[in-house]
């Protein structure tokens, strides 16, 4: 795993009698989109939470850009360049799209802005926020209150907030959850455009998106990775078909 931007080694996480993460090892290379798939309850979101620092593994190690971050809190990992988008949107519905992304810019800057004066006229705040919105195709909706955005647009907004942190690694937990076909295709195109600039670890149930985006795919079942490989190899792996792909609803 030398040269990987993210390396996970022999990770374990237990909840009472349940082993949610079972001797799990994987790595993500710079510029790679690595997809993590598996049935509901396989432990995918639990793994993402450990990578972001919201859960502490019982044992094992997480290394980011050559540094052991196993014990680092989420805010420190964000400062180092790990950004996460959630399975359920985590935006401020009463704020505009621009203000939501501006909060992420502020968090990265590590200092306060005077929100109730002229904060949104400060180019140090609005410039990077607009750049992130432009990247994901939402600049024309910058001044729309988030609660008035469509579900697909809110997912795009959350991605813009992650990009505003200027990450080296994006952790995407089901970015297409709840989307219709058209919105899902739009998000797939957005993520395809981001591939050249970011390493991405994506958890996703939309197999069309997974096989369109991923350079490698890992299959998680009962907390353990049962296979990792190129999309075509995973698609045709008998063990993967038996454990997951052949039984998807």
Considering only CA atoms, which of 240, 218, 221 is closest in space to residue 229?
218
- The confidence score (pLDDT) of residue 116 equals 40
Tokens of 111: 């200092």
Count of residues making up the chain: 249
CA 97 from centre of chain: 19
* Maximal CA-CA distance, the chain: 61
Give tens-digit pLDDT for 12-54. Answer: 999 988 999 999 999 999 999 999 999 888 999 999 999 999 9
Which of 112-116, 146-150, 169-173 has the least mean pLDDT?
112-116
pLDDT surpasses 50 at 213: yes
Phi, psi of 63 (to 5 degrees): -120, 130
- The confidence score (pLDDT) of residue 29 equals 95
- The confidence score (pLDDT) of residue 200 equals 96
Tokens of 3: 């040269």
DSSP state of 5: S
Bridge partners (DSSP) listed for residue 9: 61
Record the pTM. Answer: 0.89
- Report all structural domains of the chain as residue ranges with CATH numbers, in order of start: 1-89+168-249 (3.40.50.300), 93-153 (no CATH)
pLDDT surpasses 70 at 230: yes
Q: Coil, strand or helix: which one is 245?
A: helix
Measure the CA–CA gap between 48 and 180, rounded to whole angstroms.
24
């Amino acid at each position: 795993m030398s040269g990987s931007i993210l390396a996970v080694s022999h990770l374990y996480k237990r909840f009472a009698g349940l082993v949610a993460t079972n001797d799990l090892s994987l790595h993500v290379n710079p510029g790679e989109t690595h997809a993590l798939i598996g049935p509901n309850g396989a432990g995918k979101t639990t793994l993402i939470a450990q990578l972001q620092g919201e859960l502490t593994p019982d044992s094992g190690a997480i290394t980011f850009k050559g540094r052991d971050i196993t014990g680092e809190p989420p805010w420190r990992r964000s400062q180092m360049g790990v950004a996460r988008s959630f399975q359920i949107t985590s935006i401020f519905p009463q704020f505009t799209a621009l203000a939501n992304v501006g909060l992420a810019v502020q968090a990265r800057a590590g200092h306060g802005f005077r929100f109730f004066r002229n904060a949104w006229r400060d180019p140090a705040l609005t410039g990077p926020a607009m750049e992130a919105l432009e990247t994901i195709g939402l600049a024309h909706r910058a001044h729309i209150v988030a609660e008035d955005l469509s579900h697909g647009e809110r997912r795009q907004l959350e991605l813009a907030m992650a990009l505003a942190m200027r990450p080296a690694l994006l952790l995407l937990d089901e970015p297409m959850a709840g989307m219709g076909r058209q919105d899902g295709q739009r998000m797939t195109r957005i993520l395809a455009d981001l591939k050249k600039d970011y390493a991405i670890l994506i958890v996703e149930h939309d197999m069309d998106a997974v096989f369109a985006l991923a350079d490698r795919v890992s299959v998680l079942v009962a907390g353990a990775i049962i296979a990792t490989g190129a999309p075509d190899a995973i698609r045709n792996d008998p063990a993967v078909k038996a454990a997951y792909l052949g039984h998807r609803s």
